């Protein structure tokens, strides 16, 4: 589906300027051209505007390019306030087709006439055949803008309405040619016999039913005399209608006028007898032609083959092919195409594969078979079209294996199917048939949806999206963007709303861009009130992405932000509000006191938020305090209390505000907030008393600090810090008696003072001559410092990879009867990880559990990573489950590693569970999930799944985040010396043109060779890079040189 996304984000030019550039070059190369007469120069410019080679395979947009009209065109363009959504060019004109058609086939008689016409106008190039309806309409409009239109240009424009327009139904071709004819007639254009002949040719190619008599009468009225080519075409028309009697009349007239009876005449009679149900006479006519000394060629054999095929008799067809072989005539692609279509009309489509298998040299028939496939589709024979499609793709796979050609052929068929006047269900069922044949490597519904977008068919697009969801084909939000744009262009708000409802019902993930496009459907002058009214009227589900889009594009003032808070946010899911309140207020620019209070009032009015508001208030206050905005936090909380919302303000909020004011040493604000709490009858809890005690101690207010301490003692809230703070207060007052009193109480309750308080106690003991106690206390403090020093030594030696020394010091700590600290164990675990020592790392983990060490998150992360690198799924899962049981949340990286291990075990259910937990806990987006799965499958060497994930979800992304993941995989490969995995990654990035620096990967490969001392591998890699002219970085050369020196080799020897 990459086409939809590419065309969505790319600015498509408002006008295909290739032809204009050619015109400019041609004028520059022919300076005398401008000095010619007006008529001649216009003919030349007209010819250059209609170059057939420029028309092939080109998506041209039907837009005026006259410089004089530039200002007018600019005035007509509409621009919305959503500047970044440049979709105007994406859906300006209907989708162009690039169909290849068969060249016009002339009879022997009219070939001479055509050569005569060409010889008279050889000075100017022909327009050639045009294969796109849109390009043909564009050229015709430009031709009509000329003052003079030559006879040849008129013939060319009529001729191109015939067989070349394979993607246009026959009835529409006739309608087009009639419109062109009428337009030329309104210009008093002088029609000649060649124009009428071209018109007859288009009629016959499209098998249009008309009255040849009326046609001749019209020519007579216009004083145009028919020639022999005219009568041959009329004879063919009667033959196609099965009117042998009228055909005989034409034949008699031609004899009467002494016109030679050519093979084309016999071919028309053969067709006429067959269409009249008299196949026997078709054979008789064919034999009569021989008797009259006219040897059959492809013209007459083509008519006979078509006649026999319309009867649906395979044996009869084989006999005709045998006759051709006897006459040394090889069937060409046009004959086979006619036979296939005739079998289809005879309801004998099942014979088509047999016919296709009998064809030799099918490689040269790509375009003809493709056109035949489109014709069958237009005639409603989908089964026959499918047979031809399968054969075309099979030929392509055998001959070249070009996926682009297969995709192009398929899209041609899909375009024709989309235009069929049948039930959408029948179309989708046929698409499923194509899918089940596995002709194309990606879901065919993606191409069909793209075709629906090209055709501006929103109904078909919606049905296609529904079918994709029903068949579990992944659908991304941008798949529906073109439909939103169509509704915007048509000013169909109802359709846009229904489309949004459909996305919600089908659980298609919407994002900020989705809602931005949706809002643009309301017009360039849409206001916030318009969007709010539409949301309420149409009962549109409000999401976080919608709030983000509205705030980005429509919120211009605080008043607008309050409108969103009052009218939109009440409809937002409570869980989203609980998790994202800080982000919502930030996007609305309401992270201030007034904005937060207004937001909390809105939440208080919701019945489903009463139990969650206190957490939100707590988060907001914490953010204010952490951002050094303590005064704003105080004002916010005070306002909430004043507004009667005190039940939502938890004690934690008051504690954090008091802590912030204490840290700032803002005495006035600290005690003023205490009075506010008292006025609202809020009693202090033990946590707030601790903060007050700390503040009083800093201020040296001993009596109040002692009262606060006594209150904490009553509430059983004393900690070693509380004792220490009271000691600080008495020390500030030089009251060492009370310092010792507090110390004795600490000894009694076995409370250890902090280091700073210990120094004060030692000084107090010395003042009162208690030297022995002071010495003992000093030795205890020294032992405590020694314990920390020993743990720090373990950390330092482990970080230097001196594992033996670290283990020895760890044993010394345990022998002294102390528990090693967690950070010492973590440093040793990291050392084992760097060595890849799984066994010792696991034993260390078991020791931590045995000693009941509080295992930190980081320890679990290191262990999971270690076992993931060694592909030890059981051990990694054990550690992961222990972490969850212990109430620890592993890092995102740990979850990713568990996903990778589960994928490697082919346990996709468990991998899915890890992914679900990952999304729920860390709130990662949809595309990051796909990146994780892609990386996991790539690491597990499940390349086919990784390819599919990249093509379907991430091909258009190539985000920096994905590149970082690939780099992380590469670094892990180097650490574990995994050459094959790194080579797989390199092949993947090259195959999909991922913008990852290949020099980086080559350096990684060389590092692995260096780590494993594989000098031959390094040399071969260097030679390969040189032979393929890939970049060899300076770092690569340095690493290689070091590797070679270890083996007493030189870089020059490698080059030799």
Give the integer Cα–Cα distance in Å for 137 and 63.
11
Give the integer Cα–Cα distance in Å for 412 and 393.
13
- Collect all residues with Cβ–Cβ distance below 8 Å to 214 and sequence separation of at least 6: none
What local confidence, expressed as pLDDT, does residue 497 receive?
92
- Which uninterrupted H or E stretch holds 766? helix 755-767
Angle, nearest 10°, between helix axes 1015-1027 and 1034-1046? 150
588: exposed, middle or buried (Cβ count in 10 Å: 0-12, 13-18, 19+): buried
DSSP codes joined into one string, 484-536: HHHHHHTT-HHHHHHHHHHHHHTTPPP-HHHHHHHHHTT-TT--HHHHHHHHH
Question: Of 302, 305, 383, which is closest to residue 348 (Cα–Cα)?
Answer: 383
Question: Of 743, 746, 783, which is closest to residue 762 (Cα–Cα)?
Answer: 743
Question: Of 437, 40, 14, 279, which is closest to residue 32 (Cα–Cα)?
Answer: 40
Q: Vertex 576, ends 570 and 580: CA angle to 5°?
A: 105
Question: Of 837, 883, 884, which is closest to residue 859 (Cα–Cα)?
Answer: 883
Angle, nearest 10°, between helix axes 593-604 and 630-642? 40
Give the integer Cα–Cα distance in Å for 905 and 907.
5
21: exposed, middle or buried (Cβ count in 10 Å: 0-12, 13-18, 19+): exposed
Give the integer Cα–Cα distance in Å for 318 and 307.
13
Q: How far is CA 452 from CA 446, 506, 514, 635, in A?
A: 10, 19, 19, 58
Helices (H), 610-701: 613-626, 630-642, 651-664, 667-679, 686-699
**CA 405 to mean position of chain CA atoms:** 22
CB 191 within 8 Å of CB 210: no
pLDDT tens column, 208-258: 888 888 888 888 888 988 888 888 888 888 888 888 888 888 888 888 878
3-state DSSP call for residue 727?
A: helix
Tokens 């005569």 found at: 116
- Collect all residues with Cβ–Cβ distance below 8 Å to 77 and sequence separation of at least 6: 88
Helices (H), 836-959: 838-850, 857-869, 873-885, 892-904, 908-922, 926-939, 943-949
- Collect all residues with Cβ–Cβ distance below 8 Å to 630 and sequence separation of at least 6: 624, 657, 660, 661, 663, 664, 666, 669
- Which uninterrupted H or E stretch holds 11? none
Give the integer Cα–Cα distance in Å for 216 and 225.
9
CB 733 within 8 Å of CB 741: no
Q: What is the DSSP letter of 589?
A: T
Question: 321-333: string of b/e by CB count within 10 Å (b at 16+)?
Answer: beebeeeebebeb
Tokens 């990879």 found at: 801
Give the integer Cα–Cα distance in Å for 934 and 931.
5
Q: How many Cβ atoms from other residues are within 10 Å of residue 291's Cβ?
A: 7
Give the integer Cα–Cα distance in Å for 208 and 240.
9
CB 531 within 8 Å of CB 550: yes
Give the integer Cα–Cα distance in Å for 252 and 312.
32
Q: How far is CA 773 from CA 264, 755, 765, 777, in A?
A: 129, 16, 7, 6
CB 305 within 8 Å of CB 346: no
CB 834 within 8 Å of CB 826: no
- Under-70 pLDDT residues of the chain: 1-132, 166, 396-406, 781-787, 952-960, 1051-1056
969: exposed, middle or buried (Cβ count in 10 Å: 0-12, 13-18, 19+): buried
Residues 1006, 1010, 1014, 1015, CA torsion sign: positive
Q: Vertex 1055, ends 1052 and 1056: CA angle to 5°?
A: 90
| Tokens found for residue 1011 | 């780590």
| Tokens found for residue 108 | 């022997």
Report, in this order, helix, strand and coil percent for the chain, each rounded to 5: 70, 0, 30
Question: Of 845, 844, 880, 882, which is closest to residue 864 (Cα–Cα)?
Answer: 880
Tokens 């429509």 found at: 554
| Tokens found for residue 710 | 């006594």
- Which contacts qualify for 814-820: CB closer than 8 Å, 24 or more apart? 814/851, 816/787, 818/787, 819/851, 819/853, 820/791, 820/794, 820/851, 820/853
- Collect all residues with Cβ–Cβ distance below 8 Å to 822 and sequence separation of at least 6: 848, 853, 854, 855, 856, 859
Q: How far is CA 38 from CA 148, 190, 303, in A?
A: 9, 20, 47
115: exposed, middle or buried (Cβ count in 10 Å: 0-12, 13-18, 19+): exposed
CB 861 within 8 Å of CB 829: no
CB 70 within 8 Å of CB 151: no
Angle, nearest 10°, between helix axes 838-850 and 857-869? 150
DSSP codes joined into one string, 678-705: HHTT----HHHHHHHHHHHHHHT-HHHH
Give the integer Cα–Cα distance in Å for 299 and 307.
13
| Tokens found for residue 323 | 């006759």
What local confidence, expressed as pLDDT, does residue 129 receive?
53
Q: Vertex 818, ends 817 and 819: CA angle to 5°?
A: 130
Question: Of 914, 984, 897, which is closest to residue 946 (Cα–Cα)?
Answer: 984
Give the integer Cα–Cα distance in Å for 1018 and 1013.
9
Q: What are the φ and ψ backbone dihedral angles of 508, each rounded to 5 degrees?
A: -80, 125
CB 357 within 8 Å of CB 373: no
């Amino acid at each position: 589906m990459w086409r939809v996304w590419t065309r969505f984000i790319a600015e498509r030019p408002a006008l295909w300027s290739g032809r204009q550039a050619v015109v400019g070059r041609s004028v520059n190369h022919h300076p005398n051209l401008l000095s010619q007469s007006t008529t001649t120069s216009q003919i030349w410019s007209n010819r250059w505007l209609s170059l057939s080679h420029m028309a092939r395979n080109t998506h041209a947009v039907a837009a005026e390019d006259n410089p004089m009209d530039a200002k007018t065109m600019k005035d007509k363009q509409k621009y919305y306030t959503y500047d970044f959504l440049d979709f105007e060019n994406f859906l300006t004109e209907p989708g162009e087709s690039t169909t290849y058609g068969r060249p016009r086939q002339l009879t022997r008689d009219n070939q001479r006439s055509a050569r005569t016409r060409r010889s008279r106008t050889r000075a100017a190039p022909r327009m050639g055949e045009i294969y796109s309806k849109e390009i043909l309409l564009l050229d015709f409009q430009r031709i009509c803008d000329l003052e003079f239109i030559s006879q040849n240009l008129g013939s060319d424009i009529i001729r191109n309405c015939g067989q070349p327009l394979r993607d246009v139904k026959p009835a529409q071709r006739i309608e087009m040619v009639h419109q062109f004819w009428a337009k030329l007639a309104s210009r008093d254009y002088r029609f000649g016999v060649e124009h009428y002949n071209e018109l007859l040719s288009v009629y016959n190619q499209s098998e249009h039913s008309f009255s040849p008599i009326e046609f001749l009468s019209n020519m007579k009225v216009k004083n145009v005399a028919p020639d022999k080519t005219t009568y041959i075409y009329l004879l063919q028309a009667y033959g196609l209608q099965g009117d042998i009697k009228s055909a005989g009349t034409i034949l008699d007239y031609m004899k009467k006028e002494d016109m030679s009876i050519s093979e084309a005449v016999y071919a028309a009679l053969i067709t006429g007898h067959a269409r009249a149900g008299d196949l026997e006479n078709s054979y008789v006519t064919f034999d009569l032609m021989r008797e009259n000394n006219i040897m059959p060629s492809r013209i007459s054999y083509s008519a006979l083959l078509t006649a026999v095929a319309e009867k649906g008799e395979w044996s009869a067809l084989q006999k005709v092919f045998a006759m051709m072989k006897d006459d040394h005539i090889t069937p060409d692609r046009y004959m086979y195409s006619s036979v296939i279509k005739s079998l289809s009309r005879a309801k004998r489509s099942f014979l088509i594969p047999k016919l296709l298998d009998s064809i030799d040299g099918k490689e040269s028939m790509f375009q003809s078979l493709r056109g035949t496939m489109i014709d069958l589709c237009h005639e409603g024979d989908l089964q026959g079209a499918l047979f031809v499609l399968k054969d075309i793709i099979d030929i392509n796979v055998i001959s070249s294996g070009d996926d682009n050609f297969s995709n192009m052929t398929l899209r041609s068929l899909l375009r024709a199917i989309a235009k069929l006047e049948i039930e959408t269900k029948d179309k989708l069922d046929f698409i499923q048939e194509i899918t089940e044949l596995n002709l194309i490597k990606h879901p065919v519904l993606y191409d069909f949806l793209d075709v629906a977008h090209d055709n501006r068919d929103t109904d078909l697009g919606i049905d296609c999206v529904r079918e994709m969801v029903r068949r579990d084909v992944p659908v991304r939000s941008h798949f529906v963007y073109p439909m939103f744009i169509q509704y915007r262009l048509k000013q169909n708000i109802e359709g846009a709303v229904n489309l949004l409802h459909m996305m919600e019902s089908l659980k298609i993930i919407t994002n900020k861009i989705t809602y931005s496009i949706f809002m643009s459907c309301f017009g360039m002058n849409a206001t916030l009130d318009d969007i709010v009214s539409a949301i309420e009227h149409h009962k549109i589900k409000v999401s976080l992405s919608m709030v983000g889009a509205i705030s980005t594009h429509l919120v211009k003032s605080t008043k607008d932000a309050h409108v969103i808070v009052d009218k939109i946010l009440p409809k937002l899911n409570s869980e989203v509000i609980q998790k994202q309140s800080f982000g919502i207020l930030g996007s609305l620019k309401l992270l201030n006191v007034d904005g937060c209070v207004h937001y909390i009032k809105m939440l208080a009015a919701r019945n489903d938020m009463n139990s969650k508001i206190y957490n939100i208030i707590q988060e907001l206050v914490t953010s204010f305090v952490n951002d050094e905005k303590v005064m704003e936090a105080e004002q916010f909380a005070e306002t909430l209390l004043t507004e009667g919302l005190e039940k939502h303000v938890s004690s934690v909020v008051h504690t954090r505000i008091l802590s912030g004011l204490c840290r700032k040493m803002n005495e006035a604000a600290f005690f003023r907030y205490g009075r506010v709490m008292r006025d609202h009858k809020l009693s202090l809890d033990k946590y707030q008393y601790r903060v007050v005690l700390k503040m009083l101690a800093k201020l040296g207010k001993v009596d109040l600090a002692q009262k606060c301490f006594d209150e904490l003692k009553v509430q059983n809230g004393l900690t070693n810090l509380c004792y220490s703070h009271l000691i600080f207060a008495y020390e500030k007052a030089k009251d060492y008696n009370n310092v010792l009193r507090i110390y004795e109480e600490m000894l009694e309750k076995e409370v250890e003072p902090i280091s700073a308080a210990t120094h004060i106690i030692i000084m107090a003991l010395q003042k009162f001559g208690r030297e022995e106690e002071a010495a003992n206390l000093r030795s205890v403090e020294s032992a405590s410092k020694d314990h920390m020093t020993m743990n720090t030594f373990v950390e330092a030696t482990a970080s230097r990879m001196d594992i033996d020394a670290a283990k020895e010091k760890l044993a010394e700590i345990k022998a002294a009867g102390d528990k090693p600290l967690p950070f010492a164990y973590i440093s040793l675990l990291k050392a084992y990880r760097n060595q890849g020592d799984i066994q010792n790392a696991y034993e260390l983990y078991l020791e931590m559990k045995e000693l009941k060490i509080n295992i930190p998150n980081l320890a679990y992360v290191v262990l999971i990573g270690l076992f993931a690198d060694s592909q030890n799924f059981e051990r990694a899962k054990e550690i992961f489950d222990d972490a969850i049981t212990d109430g620890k949340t592993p890092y995102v990286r740990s979850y990713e590693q568990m996903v990778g291990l589960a994928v490697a075990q082919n346990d996709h259910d468990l991998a899915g569970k890890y992914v679900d937990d990952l999304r729920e806990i860390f709130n990662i987006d949809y595309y990051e999930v796909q990146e994780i799965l892609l990386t996991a499958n790539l690491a597990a060497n499940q390349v086919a799944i990784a390819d599919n994930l990249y093509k379907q979800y991430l091909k258009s992304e190539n985000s920096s985040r994905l590149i970082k993941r690939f780099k992380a995989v590469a670094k892990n490969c180097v650490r574990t010396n995994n050459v094959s995995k790194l080579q797989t990654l390199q092949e993947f990035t090259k195959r999909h043109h991922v913008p990852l620096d290949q020099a980086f990967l080559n350096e990684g490969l060389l590092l692995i060779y260096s780590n494993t001392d594989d000098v031959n591998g390094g040399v071969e890699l260097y030679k390969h890079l040189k032979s393929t002219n890939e970049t060899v970085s300076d770092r690569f050369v340095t690493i290689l040189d070091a590797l070679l020196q270890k083996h007493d080799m030189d870089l020059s020897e490698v080059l030799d």
